[in-house]
Chain A
Amino acid sequence: MPSSKVINEVLDRIKSKEFRGPTRVTQAALRALSDASRASRSGSTREFLEEQAGYGDLLIKARPTAVLLANGVRQVMDAVRKGADQGLKVSELQETVSKTVDSFLIQMERSAAQIGEIGARRIRNGDTILCYGYSTSVLSIVQRALEQGKDLKVVVCESRPEFEGRLMAKEFLKLKVPTTMIIDSAVSHFIKDIDRVLTGADAVSANGAVINKIGTSMIAAVAHYSRVNVFVAASIHKFSPETIFGELVEIEEQDPSLIIPSEMMSQFWGMEIRNPAFDVTPPEHIDLIVTERGVIPPQGAIMILRRHEEISLGGLTGAQ
């Protein structure tokens, strides 16, 4: 197993939940991959390829649900393999890694801006928007809608067990948008005051199901049955190519002490704690997905995946 200080560092930081939202995780992980490649002392291209693939695997496994990260790593590995096939030297491959990472990160930023622009068109003046979990894309949409002079209000769920909603509220308050915080359980109570629900995504599967912060699917169900629109903001890089071939997106379980603090556990001897990080919202409960390529119905996910030129069955198996 290859080992690298920068990689280990970023793995620890991912584990300690320092980064909120898949975008931040991906940015940090890809930068680490680029740094690790630059520090590589591999003597041969084969050695370098193996080393990079090893780092890539470690990073992907740190957050298996973050398809964005997997797609980023996949893009880097595709470029490196292509370079190696063309007979590039290690130093040139190192250059390829850092260039691919840079361009992916730039693409991510551009995507966020485009999603903001497109998504904001679907927000109407006077809307009250319910947000759930931490999402860079959601922030981008709200920011753009405010810039367009729309008068908005947001309602933020606290998002147990990690309270990402508090961070989200902070960001909204910076944008000077009137913000109300509620507990996750109160969504049904307040749904009549809501015009649309807006969430991000950790992954979108081939059938248009959205994998996002635990609780999203319950909120989407309430909204659907209350005839409130559910919008999901997701970059095309979050669409999961594996799901075309029948793979399920893996749902990680998190530390149980987030639910019952360790020092209290002795009072609950024998109790099981289940703490899934994500759930799956079925396409029937989603009105549209806002991507940088435009707005699609969830059923259009397959179209995005098929058109996504970087993704091919060959590239897929290669990244494993």
Chain B
Amino acid sequence: MDKAGLPTEVRDIAEGIREMRIRGAGELARSAVKALMIVCKKSPAKDAQSFVEDLRAAAAALLETRPTAVSLPNGIRYVMHRVNQARTRTDDVEQLRLAGVKAAEEFIENSTTAIQRIGEIGAHRIQDGDVLLTHCNSSAAISVIKSAWQMGKKIRVYATETRPRFQGRLTAGLLLKEGIPVTMIVDSAARYFMKEIDKVIVGADAVAANGAVVNKIGTSMIALAAKESNVRTFVAAETYKFSPETMIGEVVAIERRSTDEVIGEDELRTLPSLEVKNPSFDVTPPEYIDLIITERGIIPPQGAILVLQEVMGAITPEELEEYKTFTLAEVD
């Protein structure tokens, strides 16, 4: 136990997140949930009230580490929601411990297998001979593509290079390793090739309550080009990417990244009055999205609200203050 009364393992995890030793949306959420599980098991509380307070203190310390990833508060919320529900039934600390541990295990299990499940579910929607287009580097989208390929479907993939950081190269490398034919194009050539594409498949950094998808900058333009060409757009997203804040009207703020990703410092120095804006994400409206593939099944974007309520429970404005995700940032 440290000064604040948190088990040292929990402190370590919080530090790991803050120092970015723990990375990736799924891993972040699982680590935070694991920390809560430790508190559930180790809390010396003798009554329900102080048990919940211990959990809350740990949750606050974890939320503080990275206020920018959707997955982390969602993992915490998943456990807290279930402990709070249990509390309406019982005041027994041991019962609450069990409920917390069970919720944590459930979350860890679900999120660990989520990518795999999304792949299996999504692959059914890919047909033999399909030409797919993907943007950026999404493990969920890649999982769908790989599963379809492993099912023996002869597919081809167009990968956008994804400026400014070229994450499309990572995607291309991963797909080529599987033997999947890949064609690389610049981001702005997506519409040019849209006539050859059967389906667009992308991941998500966050999904809003109305089914709008926050994803790598450029996604919404590609989805529009697809819509306009009568090409289907699929979004592959784990349920811990769904953003409960948006249920009560919060807007997901979008991170602006460093300008030197767009134009090198040396060249920028020759253009001193040039302003450079480099947002990480954009918002694709639900009208451009045909379906969202989650580990719990396929939903139309309008079904996002159902997923949120099922997984996170109802969100009150008071609760929001506690969990607020201020700005969404890229998670490596």
**Known: A181-B262, A181-B274. Contact between A271 and B192, CB under 8 A?**
no
Chain A CB within 8 A of B173 CB? yes
Cα distance A155–B185 when bound, in Å? 24
Interface residue count for A (Cβ, 8 Å)? 44
- Given contacts A214-B189, A221-B228, A267-B173, whether A186 and B184 have CB atoms under 8 Å apart is no
B221 contacts partner chain A, Cβ-Cβ < 8 Å:
yes
Q: How near does chain B come to A243, taking the closest CB pair, in angstroms?
A: 18
Output the least CB separation between A258 and chain B (Å): 8
A307 at the binding interface (Cβ < 8 Å): no
Chain-B contact segment, one of A19-27, A139-147, A166-174, A287-295: A166-174
Instruction: List, sorted by A's number, 9 A–B pairs whose CB atoms are closer than 8 Å.
Output: A158-B163, A160-B186, A183-B164, A183-B278, A185-B187, A215-B191, A218-B221, A259-B184, A268-B176
A170 in contact with B161 (CB, 8 Å): no
Given contacts A185-B163, A273-B183, contact A173 B273 (CB under 8 A): yes
B279 touches A260 (CB 8 A): no
A188 within 8 A of B: yes
- The 0/1 profile, CB within 8 Å of B marked 1, for residues 241-265 of chain A is 0000000000000000001100010
Q: Ordered nearest first, which 8 A-B pairs have the shortest CB separation?
A: A215-B188, A185-B218, A218-B191, A189-B282, A188-B221, A272-B183, A184-B188, A279-B192
Q: How far is the CA of A61 from the CA of B267 in the complex (A)?
A: 34
B181 within 8 A of A: yes
- Report the separation of the CA atoms of residues A276 and B254 in the bound assembly, to the nearest whole angstrom: 31
Q: With an 8 A cutoff between CB atoms, is A178 at the interface? A: yes
Q: Which residues of chain B from 270 to 305 have any CB-CB distance to chain A below 8 Å in the complex?
A: 271, 273-279, 282-283
Asked if A221 contacts B189 (CB within 8 A), the reply is: no
Given contacts A188-B282, A271-B176, contact A181 B276 (CB under 8 A): yes
The answer to whether B278 and A182 have CB atoms under 8 Å apart is yes
Size class of the contact patch on chain B: 35 or more
Query: Nearest B residue to A156 by beta-carbon distance?
Result: B274
- Label chain A's interface by main secondary structure: mixed
Contact indicator A214/B188 (Cβ below 8 Å): yes
Chain B residues contacting A181 (CB-CB under 8 Å) are: 262-263, 274-277
| Chain A residues, Cβ within 8 Å of B263 | 158, 166, 181
Asked whether, in the complex, the Cβ of B172 is within 8 Å of the Cβ of A222, the reply is no
Q: Is the CB of A274 within 8 A of B282?
A: no
In-complex Cβ contact of B277 among A180, A188, A260, A264 (8 A): A180
Q: How far is the CA of A188 from the CA of B217 in the complex (A)?
A: 9
Q: Are A180 and B275 in contact (CB under 8 A)?
A: yes
Q: CA–CA, A264 to B172, complex, Å?
A: 13
Q: Indicate whether A187 reaches chain B with its CB closer than 8 angstroms.
A: yes
A159 to B283, CA, bound (A): 22
Q: Counting CB contacts under 8 A, is A270 at the interface?
A: yes
Partner of A158, one of B161, B192, B221, B262: B262
Q: Is B182 an interface residue (CB 8 A)?
A: yes
| Contact assessment for B192 and A184 in the assembled complex, using a CB-CB cutoff below 8 Å | no
CB distance from A108 to the nearest CB of B (A): 28
Nearest chain B residue, comparing its CB with the CB of A170: B271
**Is there contact, CB below 8 Å, between B275 and A279?**
no
Whether B191 pairs with A279 at a CB distance below 8 angstroms is yes
Say yes or no for B98: interface residue by CB 8 A criterion: no
CB-based nearest A residue for B228: A221
The reply on B220 being an interface residue by CB < 8 A is yes
* Structural contact, A214 and B186, CB atoms closer than 8 A: yes
**B155 an interface residue at 8 Å Cβ cutoff?**
no
Is the pair B163, A160 in contact by a Cβ cutoff of 8 Å? yes
Residue B169 lies at the interface, judged by CB distance under 8 Å to chain A = yes
Which residues of A sit under 8 angstroms from B169, Cβ to Cβ?
260, 264, 267-268
Name A190's contact: one of B172, B176, B277, B283 (CB within 8 Å): B277
A179-B176 in contact given A187-B221, A221-B191, A225-B224 (Cβ < 8 Å): no
Give the distance in Å from the alpha carbon of A178 to the alpha carbon of B273 in the complex.
8
- Shortest distance between the CB of A280 and any CB in chain B (Å): 8
Q: Does B190 contact A (CB under 8 A)?
A: yes
B61 contacts A by Cβ under 8 Å: no
A182 → B minimal CB distance (Å): 5
Task: Enumerate chain B residues within 8 angstroms of A188, measured Cβ to Cβ.
Answer: 218, 220-221, 224, 282
- A264 proximity list for chain B (CB < 8 A): 169
The CA of A185 and the CA of B224, in the complex, are separated in Å by 12
Q: Are A272 and B181 in contact, with the CB atoms below 8 A?
A: yes
Residues of B within 8 A of A169 (CB): 271, 274
The answer to whether B182 touches A184, judged by C-beta atoms less than 8 angstroms apart, is no
> A274 and B271: CB pair below 8 A?
no
Residues of A within 8 A of B225 (CB): 218, 221
**Nearest residue, chain A, Cβ from B268:** A181
| Contacting residues, chain B, for A189 (C-beta < 8 A) | 217, 220, 254, 279, 282-283
Name A183's contact: one of B163, B192, B283 (CB within 8 Å). Answer: B163
Within 8 A of A (CB), among B170-184: 172-173, 176, 181-184
Bound Cα distance from A32 to B162, whole angstroms = 39
Say how far B136's CB is from chain A's closest CB, in angstroms: 10
Closest A residue, CB atoms, query B182: A271
Beyond the given A225-B224, A272-B183, please list 5 additional residue pairs across the A-B interface where CB-CB is below 8 A. A179-B275, A189-B220, A218-B224, A221-B225, A225-B228
Q: Measured between alpha carbons, how far is A179 from B173 in the docked complex, in Å?
A: 36
Return the chain A residue nearest B160 by Cβ.
Answer: A185
